[in-house]
């Protein structure tokens, strides 16, 4: 044992003596075993310093040839305390021997160095993995910023309250449960509960395209998202396609088409009414603006809105060819004669019609006009919303299963955990399988929206 180690063992012994005086430990400090452990502790401490020096070197080795840290390199964890450190941290500083104090100072200066390098590498990791877990947002998205479109949501019993709003500096979200200043939301991650002035938690999240079209200002009725997605499938829209749409209405379908064709594609959207044309343009602009804030990249400006009657829009369509056509207007048979020559062979025209009699009229029109269109499918898209929720009593307490084996086990365990004084939480939120659930179709269902007709142009 060299001189330093001997000194250290003495220091540890002294520390133990003081601890035992303070009745913190009971140990025979003269025993052989204790001495062996103290020496081992000191050796371990010395070795740790060497190992750490080695592991910093190995981190360096992980750097690639360009001097950049390899993000797949080892993540350094907080070092666990050695026995000497643990004991000395229990002691009041004035009770430590000068040798131990010296050791601690040495360790602290080492740790300062180490923590500043750790801090630096953590910062580096954050910058390197901007798309990874350190940022509590979806990859590619930022924290909530002013100008974004958000949804405020509160579920109360069977009713769901939803509100679309734009995050603005100096504004407040008003509700019957109290207000939330927008500044409490800006800079926060999406999808979290924020408390109102009355302490009621409201769920705040970014508006999806579906949320947006369902809650944006409307002119005429929109193509519902459930139908829009089937129409996109019917038309087999791909990125880069060129699509014709009519009428623009409130611009819901225009947005879904815009997303599907992407920046390399284009949508020509034709609307006869000026007020509807303006509404569609406005809704498209709002969504694009919000998207720019959210992603830091532009939503493609790929929809060209035109105010015209499609049945007489020969100049507008002249020289154009379309991969697909989406129609949502009354009497589609009246515009089909104009549209069909501009469809590429094999292209699909998806038609959205509210009544089955309109479908019959359209098919009869196609037959009489001898248009080269084949009706491949007529579908309705039903969706059934279900309610699956833990059963509660009127006072908000959970019900419990009666008479089952699980119930007996549960009450046994509840009793045990109450005895262990963590019972309150257990009783408030019973564990897996202990409570019955309500599972049935939601009493409020979306009624019929439309019939979707798939017409393919044949050669």
Ligand X SMILES: C[S@@+](CC[C@H](N)C(=O)[O-])C[C@H]1O[C@@H](n2cnc3c(N)ncnc32)[C@H](O)[C@@H]1O
Residue ranges that bind ligand X, judged by CB under 6 A: 220-223, 246-247, 249-253, 270-273, 276, 309-311, 328-330, 335
CA 82 – CA 308 distance, rounded (Å) = 80
Nearest to 362 by CA among 335, 343, 344: 335
Residue closer to ligand X by CB (options 11, 253) is 253
> What SS3 state is found at 362?
helix
Residue closer to ligand X by CB (options 106, 217) is 217
Residue closer to ligand X by CB (options 247, 265) is 247
Nearest to 69 by CA among 129, 124, 116, 123: 124
Q: How far is the CB of 314 from ligand X (least distance, A)?
A: 13
* Number of other residues whose CB lies within 10 A of the CB of residue 448: 11
Question: Both ends of the chain: CA-CA distance in Å?
Answer: 97
Cis peptide before 247 (omega within 30 of 0): yes
Residue closer to ligand X by CB (options 26, 318) is 318
Q: How far is the CB of 449 from ligand X (least distance, A)?
A: 11
CA 83 – CA 41 distance, rounded (Å) = 6
Partnered with residue 149 across adjacent β-strands are 166
Q: How far is the CB of 329 from ligand X (least distance, A)?
A: 4
Q: List CB contacts of 418: < 8 A, sequence separation 6 or more.
A: 426, 427
Q: How far is the CB of 358 from ligand X (least distance, A)?
A: 12
> H or E element: which one contains 289?
helix 274-295
Q: How far is the CB of 241 from ligand X (least distance, A)?
A: 18
Residue closer to ligand X by CB (options 254, 290) is 254
Residue closer to ligand X by CB (options 332, 430) is 332
Helix axes 83-90, 98-128, angle to 10 degrees: 110
Q: How far is the CB of 355 from ligand X (least distance, A)?
A: 13
């Amino acid at each position: 044992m060299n001189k330093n180690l001997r000194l250290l063992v003495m220091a540890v012994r002294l520390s133990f003596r003081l601890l035992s005086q303070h009745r913190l430990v009971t140990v025979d400090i003269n025993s052989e075993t204790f001495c062996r452990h103290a020496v081992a502790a000191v050796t371990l401490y010395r070795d740790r310093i060497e190992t750490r020096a080695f592991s910093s070197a190995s981190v360096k080795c992980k750097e690639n040839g360009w001097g950049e840290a390899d993000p797949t390199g080892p993540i350094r964890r907080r070092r666990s305390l050695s026995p000497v450190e643990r004991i000395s941290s229990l002691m009041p500083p004035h009770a430590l021997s000068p040798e131990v104090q010296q050791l601690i100072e040495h360790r602290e200066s080492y740790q300062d160095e180490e923590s500043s390098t750790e801090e630096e590498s953590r910062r580096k990791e954050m910058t390197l993995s901007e798309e990874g877990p350190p940022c509590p947002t979806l990859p590619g998205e930022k924290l909530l910023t002013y100008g974004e479109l958000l949804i405020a949501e509160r579920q109360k019993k069977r009713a769901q309250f939803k509100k679309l709003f734009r995050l603005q500096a100096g504004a407040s979200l008003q509700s019957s449960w109290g207000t939330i200043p927008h500044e409490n939301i800006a800079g926060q991650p999406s999808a979290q509960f924020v408390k109102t002035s009355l302490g009621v938690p409201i769920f705040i999240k970014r508006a999806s395209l579906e949320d947006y079209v369902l809650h944006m200002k409307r002119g005429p009725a929109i193509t519902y998202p459930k139908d829009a997605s089937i129409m996109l499938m019917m038309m087999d829209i791909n990125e880069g396609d060129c699509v014709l749409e009519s009428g623009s209405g409130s611009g819901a379908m225009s947005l879904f088409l815009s997303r599907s064709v992407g920046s390399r594609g284009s949508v020509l959207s034709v609307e006869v009414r000026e007020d509807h044309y303006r509404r569609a343009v406005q809704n498209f602009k709002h969504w694009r603006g919000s998207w720019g804030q959210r992603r830091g990249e532009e939503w493609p400006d790929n929809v060209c809105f035109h105010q015209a009657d499609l049945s007489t829009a020969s100049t507008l369509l002249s020289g154009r060819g379309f991969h697909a056509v989406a129609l949502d207007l009354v009497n589609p048979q009246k515009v089909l004669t104009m549209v069909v020559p501009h469809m590429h062979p094999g292209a699909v025209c998806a038609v959205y019609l509210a009544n089955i009699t309109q479908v019959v009229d359209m098919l009869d029109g196609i037959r009489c006009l001898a248009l080269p269109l084949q009706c491949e499918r007529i579908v309705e898209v039903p969706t059934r919303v279900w309610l699956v929720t833990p059963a509660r009593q009127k006072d908000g307490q959970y019900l419990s299963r009666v008479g089952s084996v699980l119930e007996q086990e549960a009450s046994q365990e509840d009793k045990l955990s109450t005895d262990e004084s963590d019972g309150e939480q257990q009783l408030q939120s019973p564990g897996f399988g202990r409570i019955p659930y309500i599972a049935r179709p939601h009493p409020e269902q979306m009624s019929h929206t439309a019939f979707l007709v798939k017409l393919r142009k044949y050669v």
